[in-house]
């Protein structure tokens, strides 16, 4: 998954600066397309660019078409493929085909709509931009649940309505800066997560053990409150200590985080369940906790346990279970 970018924000800034701007979006691919559907390129009226629709293969051709679209105040649908007569000229040599929708800001994509999109992204609110050549453009925050879960932009069944999913970046909060966390943090980064470590024990959560990482030495419930919990956040509890794990766990159960995992044996988890029941939590909420944490792959050692945790997080994110 692509990491969070600022392409819509850049396009809006160029428009506000009086340069003119357009957004080019990959709306369909076939074969070995270099960029996934939903990838975007911002083009200013002065020829500046940010982002990518093909990893460099056809950007030059798209920019030329976008400048014309800005001048004409009209949207345009472009298609490039290796079989095209101009394929060699535009450089799409990967064997795939892509379609790109170019929308000038203002005359085609309303400025207030782009401003709302940028505001939703800043607030970490999942939002879909619904568009097309002959479609009334709008934002949708309530439908398309499957697309949001899969981070999957694409055309609806009518073949005319394109839904561009704008999800906040994934986050991972780890309570307990233990040896498993040392393996999990770099793996999570590779998978597209922004990790945060919370451990009041400074000897565990040290810069020497986790160089360059964000570490909070707060009590876990205070830490997760400060960082925030939402539908794009996973919480992993690794301390084995109820005094540390449970406060953060209760915060998570009151939120809509997509994943909660807690380290410990089956017996340890059974005790955890009883503590939560004693505090009035129902079985439906308690069932959201994945404990023992991780997929059962026979993991041995901290690195393999980290693999099992990341795999389970991915399964829950993409499949919902």
- What are 253-263's pLDDT values in tens digits? 999 999 999 99
pLDDT value for 1: 37
Would you say 196 and 173 are in contact if contact means Cβ atoms under 8 Å apart? yes
- Distance CA(125)–CA(120), nearest Å, equals 5
Using DSSP's 3-state secondary structure scheme, residue 14 falls into helix
Q: b or e along 286-314 (b: 16 or more beta carbons within 10 Å of the residue's beta carbon)?
A: beebbbbbbbeeebeebeebbbbbbbbbe
pLDDT tens digits, one per residue of 10-54: 999 999 999 999 999 999 998 777 788 999 999 999 999 999 988
Please state which CATH class domain 170-319 belongs to.
Answer: alpha beta
User: What was the pLDDT predicted at 87?
Assistant: 46
Rounded-to-integer distance, Cα 186 and Cα 189, Å: 5
Q: Which of 312, 238, 298 is nearest to 268 (CA)?
A: 238
Task: Output the 3-class SS for 268-291.
Answer: HHHHHHHHHHHCCCCHHHHCCEEC
CA distance 40 to 50: 9
CB 53 within 8 A of CB 26: yes
CA nearest to 178, candidates 195, 152, 201: 201
| Boundaries of every domain in the chain | 7-166, 170-319
Task: Write down the pLDDT at residue 93.
Answer: 54
Q: Report the alpha-carbon angle 7-10-11, nearest 5.
A: 90
Distance between CA atoms of 151 and 2, rounded to whole angstroms? 10
The Cα–Cα gap between 188 and 148 comes to 20
pLDDT computed for residue 118 by the predictor: 97
Provide the 3-class DSSP secondary structure of residue 68: helix
pTM, 2 dp: 0.81
**What's the pLDDT at 55?**
73
Tens-level pLDDT at each residue, the chain (321 residues): 344 589 999 999 999 999 999 999 999 998 777 788 999 999 999 999 999 988 777 889 999 999 999 999 999 999 988 555 444 455 555 567 899 999 999 999 999 999 999 999 999 999 999 999 999 999 999 889 889 988 999 999 999 999 999 999 999 999 999 999 999 999 999 999 999 999 999 999 999 999 999 999 999 999 998 888 999 999 999 998 999 999 999 999 999 999 999 999 999 999 999 999 999 999 999 999 999 999 999 999 999 999 999 999 999 999 988
């Amino acid at each position: 998954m692509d990491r969070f970018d600022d392409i819509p924000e850049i396009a809006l800034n160029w428009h506000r600066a009086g340069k003119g701007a357009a957004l080019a979006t990959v709306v369909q691919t076939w074969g070995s397309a270099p960029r996934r559907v939903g990838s975007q390129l911002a083009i200013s009226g002065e020829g500046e660019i940010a982002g990518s629709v093909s990893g460099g293969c056809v950007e030059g051709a798209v920019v030329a078409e976008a400048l014309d679209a800005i001048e004409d105040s009209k949207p345009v649908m472009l298609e490039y493929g290796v079989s095209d007569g101009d394929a060699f000229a535009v450089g799409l040599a990967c064997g795939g085909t892509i379609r790109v929708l170019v929308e000038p800001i203002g005359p085609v994509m309303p400025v207030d709509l782009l401003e709302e999109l940028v505001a939703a992204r800043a607030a970490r609110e999942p939002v879909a931009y619904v568009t097309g050549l002959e479609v009334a453009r709008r934002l949708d925050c309530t439908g398309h649940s499957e697309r949001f879960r899969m981070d999957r932009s694409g055309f609806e069944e009518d073949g005319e309505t394109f839904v561009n999913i704008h999800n906040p970046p994934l986050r991972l909060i780890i309570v307990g800066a233990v040896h498993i966390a040392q393996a999990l943090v770099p793996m999570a980064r590779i998978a597209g997560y922004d990790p945060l470590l919370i451990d009041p024990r400074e000897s565990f959560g040290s810069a020497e053990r986790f160089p360059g990482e964000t570490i909070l030495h707060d009590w876990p419930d205070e830490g997760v409150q400060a960082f925030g919990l939402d539908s794009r956040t996973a919480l992993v509890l690794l301390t084995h200590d109820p005094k540390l794990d449970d406060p953060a766990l209760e915060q998570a159960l009151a939120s809509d985080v997509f994943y909660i995992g807690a380290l410990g044996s089956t017996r340890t988890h059974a005790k955890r369940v009883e503590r939560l029941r004693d505090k009035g939590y129902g079985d439906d909420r308690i069932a959201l906790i994945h404990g023992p944490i991780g997929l059962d792959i026979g993991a041995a050692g901290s690195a393999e346990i980290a693999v099992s945790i990341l795999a389970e997080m991915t399964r829950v994110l993409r499949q919902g279970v």
